């Protein structure tokens, strides 16, 4: 599980976004930006009743018996299965329409050494799986994180990954959860965008520096009596940052989310969200990793650059997950409804090989 350890300790970049269509569909999605995927990472279905621990794992013989749970709700998302079959989801949706995932929070994440009295110790990599397994709504996530659990600094596979989280549900509310040196912070009714460090509050305030951005072109410009007529489109967004840093991606997605034309249907919303995520995606070769480590079997041919490995979008109403990969831009889909009768975890390959739909045939 060396590749899993590297992913848990990853210096990755990610972007998350929530949106709503005109017909009342609520969606949440993310870009996963890194230079590899942990071996065994796939689209993963977790059935009701699946046993798991919130602290420790059987594979390391460190599972704490008092933290054992059975999944109340089924879920599907991106993740892997620790032996014997313990799910670790990076993001996903459950049968009640709760959606969410984890993003990297380098330099700011801080967790407690011990759980608060009367609360459950919760290792950061297990928060997504635990919330999707036990919570039906954002409101229940808030209660679980604030009152029932303590995020603890207990290593998993030798690492304590710095993470923060975003969740959304059928009400349309999107929350951000962060734990830093000042304690636990839970932001309600956010603007529906999250990237990486610094924290959400900083990103929100930073938007004031871009208050002049708009979707309408600026008109005639005059300097010292010299009038110049506008001769190109897009001038209203001049100054919109275009690099791949976390602050720039946050501003870019916030601007695009604000001005994006609302989709009429789920299918249209997924398509438009994919375009929004493209604006924050890492092209292979543009963001070099300073300490790339050893590639896994899945990533043997990938150069040491962060890139957008996949984009995943979830719908709270249809319970579908849609995804594309860097190599395969054809949209793939899995429906949680089709799996609810199953009693064992199921994994679906990402299908990362290029897939083209040919419209002609050789005669």
Catalytic residues: 14
DSSP 300-354: TT--SEEEEEEEEEEETTT-EEEEEESS--S-EEEEGGGGTT--S-EEE----S-
How far is it, in rounded angstroms, from Cα 320 to Cα 269?
13
184 burial (CB, 10 Å; 0-12 / 13-18 / 19+) is: middle
Q: What DSSP character marks residue 112?
A: B
Structure tokens at 343: 């009693």
Q: Any idea of the CA torsion for 265, 319, 92, 256, to the nearest 10 degrees?
A: 10
How far is it, in rounded angstroms, from Cα 64 to Cα 112?
17
End-to-end CA distance of the chain: 49
How far is it, in rounded angstroms, from Cα 22 to Cα 296?
42
Buried b (16+ CB within 10 A) or exposed e, 326-357: bebeeebebebeebeeeeebeeeebeeeeeee
């Amino acid at each position: 599980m060396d590749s899993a350890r590297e992913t848990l300790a990853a210096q990755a970049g990610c972007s998350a976004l929530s949106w709503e269509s005109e017909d009342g569909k609520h969606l949440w999605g993310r870009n996963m930006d890194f230079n590899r995927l942990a071996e065994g990472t796939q689209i993963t279905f977790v059935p009701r009743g699946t046993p798991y621990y919130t602290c420790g794992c059987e594979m390391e013989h460190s599972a704490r018996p008092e933290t054992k749970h059975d999944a109340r709700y089924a879920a599907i998302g991106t993740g892997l299965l620790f032996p014997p079959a313990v799910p670790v989801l990076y993001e996903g949706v459950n049968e009640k329409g709760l959606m969410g995932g984890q993003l990297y929070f380098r330099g700011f994440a801080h967790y407690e050494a011990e759980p608060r009295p009367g609360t459950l110790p919760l290792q950061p990599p297990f928060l997504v799986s635990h919330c999707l397994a036990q919570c039906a709504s954002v409101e229940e996530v808030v209660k679980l994180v604030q009152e029932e659990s303590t995020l603890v600094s207990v290593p998993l596979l030798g690492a304590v990954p710095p993470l923060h989280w975003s969740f959304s549900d059928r009400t349309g509310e999107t929350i951000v959860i962060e734990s830093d040196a000042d304690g636990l912070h839970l932001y309600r009714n956010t603007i529906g965008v999250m990237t990486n460090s610094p924290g959400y509050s900083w990103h929100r305030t930073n938007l004031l520096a871009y208050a002049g951005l708009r979707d309408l072109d600026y008109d005639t410009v005059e300097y010292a009596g010299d009038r110049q007529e506008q001769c190109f489109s897009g001038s209203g967004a001049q100054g919109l940052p275009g690099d791949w840093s976390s602050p720039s991606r946050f501003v870019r997605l916030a601007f695009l989310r604000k001005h994006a034309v609302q989709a009429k249907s789920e299918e249209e919303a997924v398509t438009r969200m994919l375009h929004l995520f493209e604006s924050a995606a890492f092209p292979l070769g543009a963001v070099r990793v300073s300490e790339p480590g050893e590639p896994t079997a899945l990533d043997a041919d990938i150069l040491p650059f962060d890139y957008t490995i996949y984009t995943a979008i979830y719908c709270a109403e249809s319970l579908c997950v849609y995804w594309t990969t860097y190599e395969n831009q054809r949209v793939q889909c899995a429906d949680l409804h089709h799996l609810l009768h199953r009693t064992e975890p199921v994994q679906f390959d990402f299908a990362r090989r290029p897939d083209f739909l040919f419209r002609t045939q050789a005669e």
